[in-house]
Chains A and B, each alone.
Chain A
Amino acid sequence: MDFPIYHLDFLNNRMLIAVVAILHVIINHAMAVGGIPIVVYLERKAFLNKDARWDHLAKKVMFIFFIITTTIGAMSGVGIWVTASLVNPAAIGSLLRVFFWAWAIEWVVFITEVCLILWYFLSWKEIGHAQKKSHVRLGIFLAAASWITMAIIVSILGFMMDTGAWTGDGSLLSALFNPVYLPQLAFRTPLAMVFAGAMALAFIPFFSNNSLPEKHDILRLLGKWTLAWSAPFALGALWYRNAIPAYSVGNMQVAITTQAFADWYQQLLIISGIVCVSIILIALACIFIPKRVGAVALVAPAVGVAAMLGLFERVREFIRKPYAIQGYLYSNGYRAEDYPLMKRDGILRHSTFAAVREVTSENTLVAGEEVFRLACSRCHTVTGINSIRKNIGAMYGFSANWDPEIISSYIETMHNGRAYMPPFPGNAKERKALAEYLVQLQSHVQPLKGVQDTGIQGAVR
């Protein structure tokens, strides 16, 4: 990747994207894509029954959604972009060029969505107002706009997992309608609806009851909503699971936990199952015995779905490995088709910003560190999360002396043994320098610094 390398050695670069992205997806799914339909549904119910109490409830929920989506929601969306451009500029830059017009259309819809949400919320009409009917219609347009923006972005997520016919023809249409797109959309849409139902339920214990409908009536309605969307959600999940490309399925076990905790896999599957069943049970309880559902049971589904959604996004990010863009760009930022050149010349020679451009007998450790920065640091840290020291220690023991020969030969073939690892991009000299650098980490623990701290070290040339 021919960019100055930004690096966070404590948090881990991928974790940075994950934190921002999961926050955004939680807000987007629960409070916009799923949230707006719930609010509009409540408002419409108030309008049809001429019942101001449901209208108050709708407005109260909408107030929370409005404040959060137009601040943290909007900014965390931009934040995914900002973090991705720091962590893997080659990937986001390539995606932007492929999907420019899709993103441009999404932008226009996004502007519409923001205008509509401002208009919808700031012009909320009292029940009985002559324009109440058109206000409800405004809400329906807003819900549609929210869904469309998500529907466009989901295509890009699918593309990263399976580039489909794009690899052959390079066209935007092939990229847009990649094989994972529609299944993932069919999965996310009802997921957002279920999540929004759970989120609204979680608010109820915190609402004081005057001027609102009876609590058990609210629970019954939200319980029905959540339950009704569970069935399409299950079908969507099944379709999506079957659309995941074959190369990814083997990664699933490591993806769901981590390499070190692969034996948690079964337990986590069980936990996910328990979360799903509990949500259905709580939804049923809300419908049939609403008076006996306590505050903890009302908050639990939202927490459960948020956790599962976070897990799902992690799995989605992990199973497309070793690629950032399947078949085209490895997660280390190198294009698959440039590998022969990199293997021949080495990566340092083709890195404008590297501190050294060639491995020599004098600069082995500096060169090794630079190779680590270029080839490994997008996913690994030295001292923080997914620390390379801990990974090597787990393989060869923390107390035994690490052997640069063994590590170097491991790096040569690691992509075969561990399908989620990209092949090492550099040449043999660089591989050996990297191994030397890794071995000296055993005794010299020094966090790796990014260009934001060191500046461009090769600049003196």
Chain B
Amino acid sequence: MSNLVPRDLPLPLPAPAWLLEFLLVSSFMLHILFVNLMVGGSLFTVFYQWKGKTDQRFEELAYLVAKTLTVNKSLAVVLGVGPLLCLNVLYTTFFYSANALTGTAWLMIIPLISGAFLLTYLHKYTWHNNSLSRGSHRLIAIFAAILFLIIPFIFLANANLMLFPERWGEVKGFFTALLLPNVFPRYLHFIAASVTVTGLFLIGYLGRNKDPSSIFQREPNFLFEARRSLYSLCFVITAAQFIIGPLVLFTLPSHGISGAMLGFLLIAIAMAMVLLKFLYQESKNPTPQLSKGFLRIVFLFTVIVAFMVSIRHMYREQALSAHKQIQKEKTQAFLDESAAAAIQAKSPVAEVSPQEKGKNAFASYCSGCHAEATVKVGPALTEIRGIYKTDTAGIVKWAKAPGKKRPGMAMPSMNHVQEDDLDAIAHWILKAK
């Protein structure tokens, strides 16, 4: 199992590991929040617009959601840079190895995300454009949502693969990486969380526009109706997480699970049960307001997410701990060997005669292309002697800034070679004193 752990990069971490881990976990939490809002927002837009076919109020609701989507997606990207930075520094070899193994798919995240973003703008800015049929307008949102549903697979395959160097040998490209245990349960867990996060966000966001012409000012009851159904949805999805969650846990290879992690998990599950009760209560509330009931749900949910993100990190550390230890020893052994070899290689330099110097320098710098009497790549020395006779300076000048006289490959400049070496070479070629 240790065979596939590569050496680490031999540069020190830029900060203590605990600080980097703290930055990773906290910035990742912010990032994933907006990723959830992005993916969830895309799904809600499609859903509300579809309901809007028969009920115009939902069409207006869909537009409200679509407008938040284009903002949230930008924040999701920019907030992803921080955790990616920490991940790259802390888990350099594990992460990059996973990237290389899923290479082409990993690369595809760039065009896929760009494409999804462009579609969300197209969708938003053609909303009131009558040249587009409503059907094709809805189709744009559906295409964007499909992209937003595909892209997480690539991230999850990488986040999963980097944890298990012992499985790297089995992987041949992205699709086999996808088939490792845990990727699909984790995907479901993530999509469910995206719907819940976006649902809670919308409960708080809808009705904020106090403009009397806006939909919820015109129809206050519709606001309560929308909030109630969002609470119901959050309740159902959170209840489903009680099935998906264990599925995620049981498909995780057990060597990464620690006692502390299970302890944290139990606390989180207990809090989730309370959350479930609160969600149920609010879904039965005829006039749900943004007061105590809502705030305690948001607070509890945030704490649960913080726990989950920390548990995720604890698993990663535990799963990689043996590999990291092997890596540390391997890296140190390599550095020691390298330093010893460097000392060994330093041999004293002997004094040489000018002719000898020219001969050696010719062998280093020129013999790849030039030979005494045959044409290797460039002309033979016999021919060069015929051209330059005794003009050593002419050879030096040409070598520093070669022109092109004959077909085939042009000679590269020898500007990087020391002046006295060039001079010695020219003297040696022309057998000059």
User: Do A and B bind?
Assistant: yes
Hey, which bits of chain A sit against chain B, CB under 8 A? 2-6, 16, 20, 67, 70-72, 74-76, 78-79, 81-83, 85-86, 89-90, 92-94, 96-98, 100-101, 103-104, 107, 110-111, 114-115, 118, 122, 172, 247, 249-251, 253-254, 259-260, 262-263, 335, 337-338, 340-341, 343-345, 350, 352-353, 394-396, 406, 409-410, 413-414, 416-420, 450-456, 459-461
Knowing A71-B114, A75-B114, A259-B412 touch, does A452 contact B101 (C-beta < 8 A)? yes
- A340 near B344 with CB under 8 A, answer yes
CA distance A15 to B57 in the complex (A): 51
Residue of B nearest to A351 (CB): B6
What is the CB-to-nearest-CB distance from A93 to chain B, in angstroms, rounded to a whole number?
A: 5
Q: Which of B6, B118, B172 has the most CB of A within 10 A?
A: B6
- A6 near B103 with CB under 8 A, answer yes
Jot down 26 A-B pairs with beta carbons below 8 A, ordered by A.
Answer: A16-B107, A75-B117, A86-B100, A90-B9, A93-B96, A97-B13, A97-B89, A98-B14, A104-B23, A114-B77, A247-B416, A249-B415, A250-B413, A260-B409, A350-B334, A410-B369, A413-B364, A416-B368, A417-B365, A417-B366, A417-B414, A450-B103, A452-B101, A452-B173, A455-B169, A455-B176
Asked if B15 is at the interface of the complex by the 8 Å CB criterion, the answer is yes
- B344 near A344 with CB under 8 A, answer yes
- B9 near A82 with CB under 8 A, answer no
- A110 near B110 with CB under 8 A, answer no
Residues 4 to 56 of chain B near chain A (Cβ within 8 Å): 4-7, 9-15, 23
Question: Chain A contacts of B168 at CB under 8 A?
Answer: 4, 456, 459
Residues 90 to 147 of chain B near chain A (Cβ within 8 Å): 92-93, 95-97, 99-104, 106-107, 109-110, 113-114, 117-118, 121
Knowing A71-B121, A85-B88 touch, does A254 contact B412 (C-beta < 8 A)? yes
CA distance A454 to B79 in the complex (A): 34
CA distance A293 to B106 in the complex (A): 46
CA distance A89 to B10 in the complex (A): 13
CA distance A271 to B113 in the complex (A): 37
CA distance A254 to B404 in the complex (A): 13
8 additional A-B pairs beyond A97-B12, A344-B344, A352-B5, beta carbons within 8 Å, are A4-B97, A4-B100, A5-B100, A75-B117, A89-B100, A97-B89, A114-B75, A340-B342
Q: Which of B88, B121, B345 has the most CB of A within 10 A?
A: B88
Choose one: A89, A103, A452; the contact of B96 (CB below 8 Å).
Answer: A89
Residue of B nearest to A111 (CB): B78
- A82 near B85 with CB under 8 A, answer no
4 nearest A-B pairs in the assembled complex, by CB-CB distance? A459-B169, A452-B103, A250-B415, A100-B14
- B107 near A103 with CB under 8 A, answer no
- A107 near B103 with CB under 8 A, answer no
What is the CB-to-nearest-CB distance from B170 to chain A, in angstroms, rounded to a whole number?
A: 8
Choose one: B95, B345, B363, B415; the contact of A344 (CB below 8 Å).
Answer: B345
- A104 near B85 with CB under 8 A, answer yes
What is the CB-to-nearest-CB distance from B382 to chain A, in angstroms, rounded to a whole number?
A: 18
- B341 near A259 with CB under 8 A, answer no
- B93 near A409 with CB under 8 A, answer no
Asked if B325 is at the interface of the complex by the 8 Å CB criterion, the answer is no
What is the CB-to-nearest-CB distance from B102 to chain A, in angstroms, rounded to a whole number?
A: 7
Contact-residue bracket for chain B: 35 or more
Question: Chain A contacts of B101 at CB under 8 A?
Answer: 4, 451-452, 455-456
- A341 near B368 with CB under 8 A, answer no
- B342 near A341 with CB under 8 A, answer yes
What is the CB-to-nearest-CB distance from A126 to chain B, in angstroms, rounded to a whole number?
A: 16
- A417 near B74 with CB under 8 A, answer no
- B415 near A417 with CB under 8 A, answer no
State the total of A-B contacts with C-beta under 8 angstroms: 235
CA distance A94 to B11 in the complex (A): 7
Knowing A254-B412, A341-B337, A452-B101 touch, does A78 contact B77 (C-beta < 8 A)? yes
Choose one: B85, B89, B172; the contact of A454 (CB below 8 Å).
Answer: B172
Question: Chain A contacts of B15 at CB under 8 A?
Answer: 100-101
- A86 near B106 with CB under 8 A, answer yes
- A413 near B169 with CB under 8 A, answer no
Question: Chain B contacts of A418 at CB under 8 A?
Answer: 412
Knowing A97-B13, A340-B344 touch, does A6 contact B100 (C-beta < 8 A)? yes
Residue of A nearest to B3 (CB): A461
Hey, which bits of chain B sit against chain A, CB under 8 A? 3-7, 9-15, 23, 71, 74-75, 77-82, 84-85, 88-89, 92-93, 95-97, 99-104, 106-107, 109-110, 113-114, 117-118, 121, 168-174, 176, 334, 337-338, 340-342, 344-345, 363-369, 376-377, 404, 408-410, 412-417
Knowing A93-B92, A107-B81, A337-B342 touch, does A74 contact B4 (C-beta < 8 A)? no
- B413 near A78 with CB under 8 A, answer no
- A114 near B74 with CB under 8 A, answer yes
- A343 near B103 with CB under 8 A, answer no
Question: Chain A contacts of B7 at CB under 8 A?
Answer: 2, 350, 352
Question: Chain A contacts of B103 at CB under 8 A?
Answer: 6, 86, 450-452
Residue of A nearest to B80 (CB): A78
What is the CB-to-nearest-CB distance from A174 to chain B, in angstroms, rounded to a whole number?
A: 14
Question: Chain A contacts of B4 at CB under 8 A?
Answer: 352-353, 456, 459
Residue of B nearest to A115 (CB): B75
What is the CB-to-nearest-CB distance from A226 to chain B, in angstroms, rounded to a whole number?
A: 29
Knowing A6-B103, A453-B173 touch, does A343 contact B345 (C-beta < 8 A)? yes
Question: Chain B contacts of A16 at CB under 8 A?
Answer: 107
Question: Chain B contacts of A249 at CB under 8 A?
Answer: 415
Question: Chain A contacts of B417 at CB under 8 A?
Answer: 416
Question: Chain B contacts of A451 at CB under 8 A?
Answer: 100-101, 103
- B121 near A82 with CB under 8 A, answer no
Question: Chain B contacts of A118 at CB under 8 A?
Answer: 71, 74
CA distance A207 to B321 in the complex (A): 60
Choose one: B6, B78, B99; the contact of A2 (CB below 8 Å).
Answer: B6
- B338 near A338 with CB under 8 A, answer yes
- A75 near B110 with CB under 8 A, answer yes
- A82 near B3 with CB under 8 A, answer no
What is the CB-to-nearest-CB distance from A44 to chain B, in angstroms, rounded to a whole number?
A: 25
Question: Chain B contacts of A413 at CB under 8 A?
Answer: 363-365, 367-368
CA distance A76 to B110 in the complex (A): 7
CA distance A419 to B414 in the complex (A): 8
What is the CB-to-nearest-CB distance from A392 to chain B, in angstroms, rounded to a whole number?
A: 10
Question: Chain A contacts of B80 at CB under 8 A?
Answer: 78
Question: Chain B contacts of A406 at CB under 8 A?
Answer: 376
Choose one: B100, B342, B368; the contact of A417 (CB below 8 Å).
Answer: B368
What is the CB-to-nearest-CB distance from A25 to chain B, in angstroms, rounded to a whole number?
A: 15
- A94 near B9 with CB under 8 A, answer yes
Question: Chain A contacts of B413 at CB under 8 A?
Answer: 250-251, 253-254, 419
Residue of B nearest to A119 (CB): B71
Question: Chain A contacts of B171 at CB under 8 A?
Answer: 455-456
CA distance A79 to B416 in the complex (A): 34
What is the CB-to-nearest-CB distance from B346 to chain A, in angstroms, rounded to a whole number?
A: 8
Residue of B nearest to A263 (CB): B404
Residue of A nearest to B7 (CB): A2
CA distance A199 to B5 in the complex (A): 49
CA distance A3 to B4 in the complex (A): 10
Question: Chain B contacts of A416 at CB under 8 A?
Answer: 364-365, 368, 417
Residue of B nearest to A248 (CB): B416
Knowing A94-B11, A337-B342, A394-B409 touch, does A86 contact B99 (C-beta < 8 A)? yes
What is the CB-to-nearest-CB distance from A408 to chain B, in angstroms, rounded to a whole number?
A: 11
What is the CB-to-nearest-CB distance from B227 to chain A, in angstroms, rounded to a whole number?
A: 25
- B107 near A86 with CB under 8 A, answer yes
Question: Chain A contacts of B365 at CB under 8 A?
Answer: 413, 416-417
- A419 near B412 with CB under 8 A, answer yes
- B369 near A395 with CB under 8 A, answer yes
CA distance A418 to B12 in the complex (A): 33
Question: Chain B contacts of A343 at CB under 8 A?
Answer: 341, 345
Question: Chain B contacts of A78 at CB under 8 A?
Answer: 77, 80-81, 84, 110
CA distance A260 to B417 in the complex (A): 22
What is the CB-to-nearest-CB distance from B303 to chain A, in angstroms, rounded to a whole number?
A: 24
CA distance A338 to B338 in the complex (A): 6
Knowing A4-B101, A343-B345 touch, does A122 contact B169 (C-beta < 8 A)? no
